[in-house]
Structure 1
């Protein structure tokens, strides 16, 4: 019978101690993590813009290379032995 009141006392004291914990440090940690997430989100959006610019540039370079190859092929076809 003595075990039940001792266990109840342990649970109650644990709950009371959890209520007295320092929440300002936890809030500061959450704020720091939120700031880091925001910074990473900004970095990702900037990288997405860079990727789209690079994709457009590579597409233009590919088109220009195709056009140059066609010109070379046309020059080679005009020479016959």
Structure 2
């Protein structure tokens, strides 16, 4: 009796494992292909966004540098104008 039970358990476990070992069906394969396509699309979008971000970052740095140079030029010009005003004021006497 014990031997028959062990034999039945062994055969059923082999059949169970054989059923689980089959490959994915067509629906699962289609879902995997769709998921792979979506992941590829997301990777392309991410690469495009990274490139755009790097370009924008470079543009922002260039704009900031130009603004800084313009501010320095304005400061130099205002110092020069103040110096001229000081010279004019010194030439007048009571």
Q: Decide: shared fold, TM above 0.5.
A: yes
Task: Give the length in aligned residue pairs.
Answer: 81
Match of 1:9 among 4, 8, 11: 11
Q: Which residue of 1 aligns with 2:30?
A: 28
* 2:47 is the counterpart of 1:58: no
CA RMSD of aligned residues (A): 2.1
Q: TM-score, normalised by structure 2?
A: 0.70
5+ residue gaps, structure 1, are none
5+ residue gaps, structure 2, are 87-94
Distance 1:21 1:45, change over 3 A: closer
Match of 1:72 among 71, 74, 91: 74
